[in-house]
Chains A and B, each alone.
Chain A
Amino acid sequence: MNKKEILKLAKGFRGRAKNCIRIARERVEKALQYSYRDRRNKKRDMRSLWIQRINAGTRQHGVNYGNFMHGLMKENIQLNRKVLSEISMREPYSFKALVDISRNAFPGNKNVVLPTRKADISINV
């Protein structure tokens, strides 16, 4: 890339990095490396954000994220975390219905499954 392209990419940088080609070249190279890495990190960060939001939403109903997802898996509800987080923000009543479904499918560790009851649960599933 020639100098003009580099300085164009260096817009908004701090100090001499936006003006002087020698410094700008280094910073632009680094910036491009970061953007390559972060295109992959962004997917991870987004998923983590969705999980945090779902966790907050389900804890308002007394269920934590792990038990909630386990219940959904048991019921074979294949909504992904992105959609679940949007539902938890915009459609609280639908989200509560999902939490209830999950709670019915998987009540949580407090109701410890006794050996004698395993047969019943397997029949339901």
Chain B
Amino acid sequence: MHTFLTRGNALLTFTLSVLAGLTFFCFLSTALNAYSATATIDTVKVLVKNVPDYSAQKEKQDLGYLMFDLQANLDPLFNWNAKQLFVFLTAEYESLDNKLNQVVLWDKIIQRGENANLDMKNMNTNYYFWDDGNGLRGNSNVTLTLSWNVIPNAGMLSIVRGSGSHSFSFPNEYTNVRAQ
């Protein structure tokens, strides 16, 4: 351990080994966490329209419109290894064209340190609720669920679906495009 190079080499190897070990223990410490929580969801004002989707095909497709209430306390999910929670609200339903449809209506990024106790009323969706076809009118079983993707400092990325969902139906009549 006399030359500059051997000392530098030993120092670098030791630093890298310690960092790797710490990262591995960080991953292990939260590897078995369930990250579960409940969510209360409700819909306010549900409409369906039939208009051409100019960002996709030019035929008329069903466009759902809704506003929702959401309560969920996600504060207990954060720990030293949870860097961020990507929370998203999914609408899941079956239609004549497709056996399974999943559409994300709203999402939010919550980082560690921010308030994660969600309590929102009469929220607008972030994204348009386009169906692939005309399967929304009169659809009697559309389920809204809240899920979150846990992004760790190092480790497994897990997607957890919150317990507590809300089912609703779309009206049987299209709403005229001009009326709101």
A and B interact:
no
Residues of A within 8 A of B (CB): none
